[in-house]
Structure 1
Amino acid sequence: MFFMKKIPLKTEYKEAASSPQMDGQIQVAVDQLKGVVEQMNLTSLSLEEISKSTEAKTAQLFTHSEQTVSFSQEASEKMKAIEAAALHISSFSQEILSNSQTSYAELQNSFVSFQTLQQKFEHLSRSHNDLLEQMHQLVEYSNKIQEIVYTIGSISQKTKILALNASIEAARAGDHGKGFSVVAKEVGNLANQTSQAVEETRDTIQIIQTEIKSTAEKVKLETAQVHEGFHEMNKILDALESFKGKLNIITKMVQESSESVDEQRDSVVDIANLLQEIADMALENKKYVVQVTTDLRTQHKNIEEIRSINQALTKTSSELQTLVHENGQNVQYDETLVKQVKNMLSQKVQSKTLLSMDEKIHQLLLDEILYSNPQLETIWTNRRDGTFIYSNPPAGLVNAKMRPWFKEAINGKEYVSEPYISAVTKNYCITLSFPIVSEGKIIGVLGADMALKENGR
């Protein structure tokens, strides 16, 4: 593993420096160079991903800007159509309001006319009632006249009888009764005429009574019709009164609707103006998006150049590290001790404590392992993305994604490196790493640096 350590620049060449010390410093410098190159590689990869993502999102933003312009213009046109419709509706509402007000006035005049007609019907009904009353009185008077006629007829019959008796007595009296006989005869003629007149009067009265009864029936029928018309007129007046109230409500509603349409028309005009401003801004934003897209393409080319340079540096640092590490391949060390440490760490990595991925819990466990095993120089854990959960001492890397020990462990393999010189102790060490597995899934890495003691030293 790589831990940052500043190496002072030496302006004077010291001939007294031994070859092993020089080799160690060179190897440390090479490891540091490789670490820097790896960090640059990670950074350039991240920049490349961000650049590609930004370019894609900018393309989407460009598309959305075009759609925004199109939609804004379309919405503006529709709002103008709505404005025209609102004006049309407002005109209709005004016309309906005018007609409603005119109809209300006409209805009011009709209502007054119907009230006048109702009063006339009422007056006519009273006149019919008075006429019926007078006819009843007339019938009573004719009945009285008939009674008088009957009385006169009775008197006439009696007079005729008296005249007959007087004639009989005058005939008995002879010459002395001739004068009386003439009187009796005249009285008889008068009685006959009276009787005939009574009969004629009786017939006339009978005809008059019949006509009065017929007229009374007609008047009764007309009175009933007048009453029926009067009631119908009341119903019409009630209906007109109700309709007048409803028409008044409708007139108010139409007036309120007309005012509301006018307010909405003003709002529609404001919205149409805002949409036009949005469309103008969207067009301006579209120009900016085009410029940003051009800049991002230029940036992407620059990142590709950085990636190319970084790949060349990576190749060079790897070759240099291979040459330097060749000296460490012949190092003799206690392989049994390495196996013991490997087995111990392999058991520790199976601890459920590590599955929490909590920094404080990892710190407690890793510190306990480090302090109870003096042969360990460093111990740490990583997440799947290469970042460190905990490291003692603190790691000089921000991200271990490019390190061989991380790649092997994250792929499910236990890793043991070749011996190399530690940047911290300047002595040989090896790196061991193990996958942290939870429910069959690799969630992180446990790693440690083990100091090597050469055989015979």
Structure 2
Amino acid sequence: MFSQRLFWLNILLPVCLSALIFAAFCHWDTWAAVALLINSLWFLILFTVWHRRSSLPLASLSKEVEQLVAGKTFNSGDKNYPREYEKILKSIVTPVEMLHSMTGNTQLAAQQVAAAVEQINLTIDDSQRVSRDFSTIEVVAGSLAKMSAGMRQQIQEDLQAVAACREEMLYARHAIENVRQESLQVTSLISSLLTAVGNVDSIMMTIAEISSETRLLALNASIEAARAGEYGRGFAVVAEEVKKLSENTFTAVRETESILKLIQEHVSNVNSQLESNKKSIEEGVRSTLQAEDMLNIISGKMENISSVTNRNNEEVNNYLQQVSAAADEQKCNLGEITKVGDLLKEAANMLHEISSKVKIKKDAALLEKQKLKAEQLIKILRDVSTGTSIQEMNPDSHQTTLMSLLRKNPVFEAVWSNRPDGSFVFSEPAAGLANARVRDWWQQAATGNNYMSEEYISAITKKSCITISVPIRDRTGTVVGVLGADVKLED
């Protein structure tokens, strides 16, 4: 203010002095000098009014431009500016608004690139797990190959053992067959022996009858010799000898009959034993034939197993080669993906750095209003998270509950729920990433804290929004998931 007064004093004083000197030099009278002075003052008043009317809009315009550059918005229709100022203002507003729009787009691009980086990091983690699984598969497949080789060797040994067993069984069958033939021959001989013994027994009976008749004749001869007296004594001696011979013959026949009976009993026992042995030999032959057939079947099965094992071994070797090639390719791809992820991360950092240079400032009252609104919405999410339909972590129940929440609260731009591992139970709209465990809103809520993000540009509506999230707890208070939402902000 002092500088403005000094400015006007420096103008008015020289003008008045110049007018008085000019009037004295021209020998004007007093009224002429007064008139010149009045005209000069009138000119200065008009100049002052014009300067004021020009400087005030200019100062206001300068202030508005400063606010615009600082990130605040304003409505140019609320104030009247001279036409030439409006053109200047428009030429300033247009690039600034373009700058703000570009900043929003840059923030959005940075978020999308960051999301892509997160997804690539998840892909890298999955790829590393797959690579480790490949290594495990290679180890298991190698063990399987060794096992297959050992099995093949064991099968070959078993085949050799079966072949040897078949040879032994064939030899045993031939031996048993020979025994059976010999047993049949012995049986035939025993039958012949029984027949011969029977014939001998018949002969011995005939001899016994002859001996009996001879003894009777000797008795009669003795009687007749006794009647003859002296003349019959020699005949009596002969008769006595014949009698002794017949008695000895009878005794021998009786002893022979006993021996023949004993021989018949033993031969019958031998014959019975031979019949039993014959049946056993026949059973042995049948068992040997069955065992030989079973060995043939086992041999065929083992040959099939050997063939299948060989094919499986070849397939396992081919699979090992494919797994090894896939693992090598996976490692190469993983390296390329890691490089791309690093480049995208650098790009995201650059975009974030660029967008952070332009700050969009908002009125403190508006910020406080948005904060209160976010706290109210967090309370709504907390109330929903305590419901049984959410605590059960069932996808169908989550879909029903969250869709109803979305319809009742249009301020929600998106709602979703996550499991403790970061995977999504339900999301509306569909989530753009497979797992959220790298996001701040998930990490904070998963540890039991409520979360509210800073303002950012939504990838869905391309407008300002914030993200809020709350933990999902079961009846014991344990965190079993995360419930989150994107909130639209007022323009």
**Pairwise same-fold verdict (TM > 0.5):** yes
Letter in 1 for 2:202: H
385, 388, 392: which one aligns with 2:428: 392
User: Aligned partners of 2:292 and 2:95: how far apart in 1?
Assistant: 99
Query: Structure 1 residues 28 and 63 mapped into 2: Cα distance closer, same or farther (>3 Å)?
Result: same
* Superposed displacement of residue 310, structure 1: 0.8
* Superposed displacement of residue 303, structure 1: 0.5
Match of 1:430 in 2: 466
Match of 1:450 in 2: 487
* Superposed displacement of residue 212, structure 1: 4.8
Q: Which moved more, 1:64-73 or 1:44-53?
A: 64-73
Specify the SS of the correspondent of 2:435.
coil
Match of 2:102 in 1: 22
36, 57, 60: which one aligns with 2:140: 60
Query: Structure 1 residues 415 and 133 mapped into 2: Cα distance closer, same or farther (>3 Å)?
Result: farther
Specify the SS of the correspondent of 1:51.
helix
Q: Deviations over 1:392-414 (max 9, x none)?
A: 23333333233221233334433
User: Aligned partners of 1:388 and 1:301: how far apart in 2?
Assistant: 30
369, 393, 405: which one aligns with 1:357: 393
User: Aligned partners of 1:264 and 1:396: how far apart in 2?
Assistant: 65
Query: Structure 1 residues 328 and 58 mapped into 2: Cα distance closer, same or farther (>3 Å)?
Result: farther
Query: Structure 1 residues 139 and 38 mapped into 2: Cα distance closer, same or farther (>3 Å)?
Result: same
Specify the SS of the correspondent of 1:449.
strand
Query: Structure 1 residues 307 and 362 mapped into 2: Cα distance closer, same or farther (>3 Å)?
Result: same
Match of 2:333 in 1: 302
Specify the SS of the correspondent of 2:481.
strand
Q: Deviations over 1:311-361 (max 9, x none)?
A: 342354145336636736867142333223222322321222223332221
225, 229, 247: which one aligns with 2:260: 229
Matched, 1:116 2:152: no
User: Aligned partners of 1:41 and 1:89: how far apart in 2?
Assistant: 68
1:73-152 map, 5 Å? 73-97=153-177, 99-131=178-210, 133-134=212-213, 137-138=216-217, 141=220, 145=223
Specify the SS of the correspondent of 1:370.
helix
Match of 2:7 in 1: none
Is the 8 Å Cα contact of residues 457 and 465 (structure 2) preserved in structure 1? yes
Specify the SS of the correspondent of 1:391.
strand
RCO greater where, 1 or 2, for CA within 8 Å and sep 6 or more? 1
User: Aligned partners of 1:221 and 1:244: how far apart in 2?
Assistant: 33
Is the 8 Å Cα contact of residues 106 and 352 (structure 2) preserved in structure 1? no
* Runs of at least 4 residues off by over 6 Å: 328-331
Match of 2:126 in 1: 46
* Superposed displacement of residue 53, structure 1: 0.9
RMSD of aligned Cα (Å) = 4.1
* Superposed displacement of residue 384, structure 1: 3.3
Q: Which moved more, 1:422-431 or 1:327-336?
A: 327-336
Q: Which moved more, 1:134-143 or 1:339-348?
A: 134-143
User: Aligned partners of 1:333 and 1:374: how far apart in 2?
Assistant: 21
Specify the SS of the correspondent of 2:484.
strand
Q: Deviations over 1:268-307 (max 9, x none)?
A: 3784587378448736853663464245224313303312
Specify the SS of the correspondent of 2:469.
strand
Is the 8 Å Cα contact of residues 434 and 446 (structure 1) preserved in structure 2? yes
Is the 8 Å Cα contact of residues 409 and 415 (structure 1) preserved in structure 2? yes
Is the 8 Å Cα contact of residues 100 and 251 (structure 1) preserved in structure 2? no
Letter in 2 for 1:444: G
Is the 8 Å Cα contact of residues 190 and 267 (structure 2) preserved in structure 1? no
Query: Structure 1 residues 409 and 325 mapped into 2: Cα distance closer, same or farther (>3 Å)?
Result: farther
Is the 8 Å Cα contact of residues 52 and 300 (structure 1) preserved in structure 2? no
Is the 8 Å Cα contact of residues 93 and 255 (structure 1) preserved in structure 2? no
Query: Structure 1 residues 440 and 109 mapped into 2: Cα distance closer, same or farther (>3 Å)?
Result: farther
Specify the SS of the correspondent of 1:386.
coil
User: Aligned partners of 1:328 and 1:117: how far apart in 2?
Assistant: 136
Query: Structure 1 residues 32 and 221 mapped into 2: Cα distance closer, same or farther (>3 Å)?
Result: same
Query: Structure 1 residues 280 and 25 mapped into 2: Cα distance closer, same or farther (>3 Å)?
Result: closer
Query: Structure 1 residues 379 and 277 mapped into 2: Cα distance closer, same or farther (>3 Å)?
Result: closer
Letter in 2 for 1:24: G
Query: Structure 1 residues 295 and 111 mapped into 2: Cα distance closer, same or farther (>3 Å)?
Result: same
Specify the SS of the correspondent of 2:205.
helix
Matched, 1:34 2:114: yes
Specify the SS of the correspondent of 1:396.
coil
User: Aligned partners of 1:224 and 1:365: how far apart in 2?
Assistant: 118
1:208-223 map, 5 Å? 208=240, 212=243, 216=247, 219-220=250-251, 222-223=253-254
Query: Structure 1 residues 60 and 440 mapped into 2: Cα distance closer, same or farther (>3 Å)?
Result: farther
User: Aligned partners of 1:276 and 1:133: how far apart in 2?
Assistant: 87
User: Aligned partners of 2:310 and 2:154: how far apart in 1?
Assistant: 10
User: Aligned partners of 2:447 and 2:210: how far apart in 1?
Assistant: 124
Letter in 2 for 1:83: A
Is the 8 Å Cα contact of residues 94 and 258 (structure 1) preserved in structure 2? no
Is the 8 Å Cα contact of residues 208 and 249 (structure 2) preserved in structure 1? no
1:116-265 map, 5 Å? 116-131=195-210, 133-134=212-213, 137-138=216-217, 141=220, 145=223, 208=240, 212=243, 216=247, 219-220=250-251, 222-223=253-254, 226-227=257-258, 229-230=260-261, 232-244=263-275, 246-247=277-278, 250-251=281-282, 253-254=284-285, 257-258=288-289, 261=292, 264=295
Query: Structure 1 residues 16 and 346 mapped into 2: Cα distance closer, same or farther (>3 Å)?
Result: closer
Matched, 1:341 2:377: yes
User: Aligned partners of 1:364 and 1:295: how far apart in 2?
Assistant: 43
User: Aligned partners of 1:125 and 1:68: how far apart in 2?
Assistant: 80
Using structure 1 for the length normalisation, give the TM-score: 0.70
* Superposed displacement of residue 103, structure 1: 0.7
Query: Structure 1 residues 372 and 288 mapped into 2: Cα distance closer, same or farther (>3 Å)?
Result: closer
Q: Which moved more, 1:73-82 or 1:219-228?
A: 219-228
Match of 1:406 in 2: 442
Match of 1:275 in 2: 306
Using structure 2 for the length normalisation, give the TM-score: 0.66
Letter in 2 for 1:237: S
Is the 8 Å Cα contact of residues 418 and 430 (structure 1) preserved in structure 2? yes
Match of 2:85 in 1: none
Specify the SS of the correspondent of 1:43.
helix
Query: Structure 1 residues 115 and 137 mapped into 2: Cα distance closer, same or farther (>3 Å)?
Result: same
Specify the SS of the correspondent of 2:398.
helix
Is the 8 Å Cα contact of residues 76 and 275 (structure 1) preserved in structure 2? yes
- Between the two proteins, the alignment pairs up a number of residues equal to 392
Is the 8 Å Cα contact of residues 190 and 271 (structure 2) preserved in structure 1? yes
Unpaired segments ≥5 residues, structure 2: 1-93
